[in-house]
Amino acid sequence: MSTETGAGLAPGAARRPASGRSKNVDVYSLWPIAVMVLIIIATALSSPRFLSVFNFENILSQAAPLGIVTMGQCILLISGGLDLSVGYNIAFSSIITGLLLEHNVPLPVAVLAGIAAATAVGFVNGVLAAQGRAHPFIITLGMSIFLFGLDTQLTGGAPVNNMKGLYTAFGSYLPGGFPFFGLPSVTWPFLIVVLLTYGFLRWAPLGRRAYAIGGNEQAAYLSGIPVKRTKIYLYTLMGALVGITGMVLSGQINEASFNLAQNFELQSIACAVIGGTALFGGRGGAFRSLQGVALWGLVQNSILFIGFSSNYQQMALGVIIIIAVMVTRAQR
Amino acid sequence: MVPSANDVGAQGPAEALLYAENVSKRFPGVQALLDIDLTLNRGEVHALVGQNGAGKSTLVKCISGVYPPDGGRITFDGREITTYSPKHAYDLGIAVVHQRPQLLPWLSVTENVMLGQLPARKGLVIDRRKANELTRDLLARLRLEIDPEVPVARLSAPERQQVAIAKALYRQAKLLILDEPTAALDAQRSARLFALIDDLAQQGVGVLYVSHHLEEVFRLADRVTVLRDGRLVATQPTAQLSQDEVVTLMAGHRIAESSLAGSATVAGEAAPALEFCQLETDVLHGVDFVVHQGEVVGVSGLIGAGGHDIARVLFGLDRPTAGRVALNGTTYQPHGPKQAIAQGVFLVPEDPAQDGLVPVLSVAQNVTLVSLKAITRRGVLSLRREREVADRYVGELSIATSSVHTAVRNLSGGNQQKVLLAKSLTSKAAVLVLEEPTQGVDVHAKAEIHRIVRDLASRGKAVMVVSTDIRDLLQFVDRIVALRAGRVVADLPARSTTYAQILDLTVGSVAVPGS
Ligand SMILES: Nc1ncnc2c1ncn2[C@@H]1O[C@H](COP(=O)(O)OP(=O)(O)OP(=O)(O)O)[C@@H](O)[C@H]1O
Ligand SMILES: [Mg+2]
How far is the C-alpha of A71 from the C-alpha of A145, rounded, in Å? Answer: 23
DSSP states of B54-76 as a string? SSHHHHHHHHTTSS--SEEEEEE
Q: How confident is the model at residue B185 (pLDDT cuts 50, 70, 90)?
A: confident
Separation in Å, CA of A84 to nearest CA in chain B: 25
Atom of ligand 1 nearest to the CA of A15: 29
Contact (Cβ atoms closer than 8 angstroms) between residue B51 and residue B442:
yes
Mean pLDDT computed over B175-198: 89
B442: phi then psi, degrees, rounded to nearest 5: -75, 170
**CB spacing of B359 vs A215 below 8 angstroms:** yes
- In sequence order, what are the residues at sequence separation of 6 or more whose Cβ sits closer than 8 angstroms to the Cβ of residue A197? A71, A72, A74, A75, A286
Helix (H) or strand (E) holding B398: none
**C-alpha A16 – ligand 1 centre gap (Å):** 13
**CB spacing of A205 vs B7 below 8 angstroms:** no
Global ipTM: 0.83
A224: nearest CA partner in chain B: B338
**C-alpha B67 – ligand 2 centre gap (Å):** 15
Give tens-digit pLDDT for B242-301.
Answer: 988 888 888 777 655 555 655 445 545 678 999 999 999 988 999 999 999 999 999 998
Give the neighbor-by-neighbor strand order of the sheet with B345-348: B345-348, B431-435, B462-466, B296-300, B479-484, B487-493
- In sequence order, what are the residues at sequence separation of 6 or more whose Cβ sits closer than 8 angstroms to the Cβ of residue A273? A77, A279, A292, A321, A324, A325, A328
The Cα-based distances of A1 to A165, B4, B5, B218 in angstroms read 86, 5, 8, 19
Q: Which B residues 43-72 touch A at CB under 8 Å? A: 51, 53
Give tens-digit pLDDT for B213-226.
Answer: 888 999 999 999 99
Of the candidates A14, A19, A203, which has its C-beta nearest B29's C-beta?
A: A19
Ligand nearest to the CA of B98: 2
Following CA atoms B467, B249, B236, B68 in sequence, which dihedral angle do they give, to the nearest 10 degrees? Answer: 80
Count of C-beta atoms within a 10 Å radius of residue B88: 14
Contact (Cβ atoms closer than 8 angstroms) between residue A69 and residue A244:
no
Of the candidates A205, A218, A282, which has its C-beta nearest B376's C-beta?
A: A205
A128: phi then psi, degrees, rounded to nearest 5: -70, -45
Of the candidates A2, A220, A224, which has its C-beta nearest B235's C-beta?
A: A2
Nearest CA to ligand 1 atom 31: B411
Mean pLDDT computed over B477-482: 94
Contact (Cβ atoms closer than 8 angstroms) between residue B131 and residue B107:
no
Ligand 1 interacting residues, C-beta cut-off 6 A: B 27, 30, 32, 50, 52-58, 99, 400, 410-415, 442
For B116, counting Cβ atoms within 10 Å of its Cβ (0-12 exposed, 13-18 middle, 19+ buried), the class is: exposed
Mutation site, A25, A26, A216, A280, interface B, largest B CB count within 10 A = A216
| pLDDT in the model for residue B257 | 56
Domains of chain A: which residue ranges?
Answer: 27-331
| End-to-end Cα, chain A, rounded Å | 39
Q: What angle do CA A5, A8, A11 make, to 5 degrees?
A: 75
Atom of ligand 1 nearest to the CA of B58: 18
A282 vs B contacts (CB less than 8 Å): 358, 360-361
Nearest CA to ligand 1 atom 28: B53
Of the candidates A21, A212, A215, which has its C-beta nearest B403's C-beta?
A: A21
Separation in Å, CA of A85 to nearest CA in chain B: 28
For the entire predicted model, the pTM comes to 0.81
Following CA atoms B215, B255, B408, B372 in sequence, which dihedral angle do they give, to the nearest 10 degrees? Answer: 120
**CB spacing of B236 vs A1 below 8 angstroms:** yes
A226 vs B contacts (CB less than 8 Å): 338
**C-alpha B352 – ligand 2 centre gap (Å):** 13
Q: Is B253 on the interface with A (CB under 8 A)?
A: yes
CATH class of A27-331: mainly alpha
Contact (Cβ atoms closer than 8 angstroms) between residue B151 and residue B106:
yes
Residue to substitute in B24, B33, B36, B58 for testing ligand 1 pocket (most ligand atoms within 8 angstroms of CB):
B58
Nearest CA to ligand 1 atom 17: B412
Q: Is A280 on the interface with B (CB under 8 A)?
A: no
Q: Is A307 on the interface with B (CB under 8 A)?
A: no
Structural domains of chain B, with CATH: 1-93+174-254 (3.40.50.300), 104-172 (no CATH), 266-344+429-507 (3.40.50.300), 358-416 (no CATH)
Separation in Å, CA of B356 to nearest CA in chain A: 5
Of the candidates B336, B341, B400, which has its C-beta nearest A15's C-beta?
A: B400
**pLDDT, averaged across chain B:** 87
Distance of CA A10 to the CA centre of its chain: 49
Mean pLDDT computed over B428-451: 87
Q: Is A117 strand, coil or helix?
A: helix
Residue B405 has pLDDT above 50, yes or no: yes
The Cα-based distances of B55 to A36, A206, B49, B354 in angstroms read 41, 37, 9, 23
- Pairing type for strands B462-466 and B479-484 reads unpaired
**C-alpha B68 – ligand 1 centre gap (Å):** 15
Atom of ligand 1 nearest to the CA of B415: 26
Please list the pLDDT of chain A residue by residue as tens digits (332 residues): 333 333 333 333 333 333 333 344 566 677 888 888 988 988 888 888 888 877 888 888 889 999 999 999 999 999 999 999 999 999 999 999 999 999 999 999 999 999 999 999 999 999 999 998 899 999 999 999 999 999 999 998 788 888 888 888 888 655 444 555 667 888 889 999 999 999 999 999 999 999 999 999 999 999 999 999 999 999 999 999 999 999 999 999 899 999 999 899 999 999 999 888 888 888 899 998 999 999 999 988 888 888 787 788 888 888 888 887 777 665 54
How far is the C-alpha of B281 from the C-alpha of B326, rounded, in Å? Answer: 16
B317: nearest CA partner in chain A: A222
**CB spacing of A203 vs B380 below 8 angstroms:** yes
Q: Is B462 strand, coil or helix?
A: strand
Give tens-digit pLDDT for B42-76.
Answer: 999 999 999 888 999 999 999 999 989 999 999 99
**CB spacing of A1 vs B235 below 8 angstroms:** yes
Mutation site, A2, A79, A198, A225, interface B, largest B CB count within 10 A = A2
B422 vs A contacts (CB less than 8 Å): none
Separation in Å, CA of A33 to nearest CA in chain B: 24
Share of chain B above pLDDT 90, in %: 49
Separation in Å, CA of A245 to nearest CA in chain B: 26
Q: How confident is the model at residue B501 (pLDDT cuts 50, 70, 90)?
A: confident
**CB spacing of A4 vs B251 below 8 angstroms:** no
Q: Which B residues 431-470 touch A at CB under 8 Å? A: 444
Q: Is B336 strand, coil or helix?
A: coil
Residue B484: beta bridge partners?
B487
Mean pLDDT computed over B424-435: 90
Give tens-digit pLDDT for B115-160.
Answer: 877 777 776 777 888 888 989 999 988 888 899 999 988 888 888 8
A25: nearest CA partner in chain B: B28
B316 Rama sector, left if φ>0, alpha if ψ -120 to 50, beta otherwise = left
Q: Of A277, A297, A264, A299, which Cα lies nearest the Cα of A118?
A: A264
Q: Is A16 strand, coil or helix?
A: coil
How far is the C-alpha of B138 from the C-alpha of B459, rounded, in Å? Answer: 51
Q: Of B142, B99, B136, which Cα lies nearest the Cα of B114?
A: B136
B403: nearest CA partner in chain A: A21
Burial pattern B274-283, b for ≥16 Cβ within 10 A else e, equals: bbbbebebeb
A5: nearest CA partner in chain B: B233
Of the candidates B231, B361, B370, which has its C-beta nearest A215's C-beta?
A: B361
| pLDDT in the model for residue A175 | 45
Mean pLDDT computed over B420-449: 87
Q: Which A residues 177-236 touch B at CB under 8 Å? A: 202-205, 208-209, 211-212, 215-216, 218-226
Of the candidates B347, B361, B444, which has its C-beta nearest A212's C-beta?
A: B361
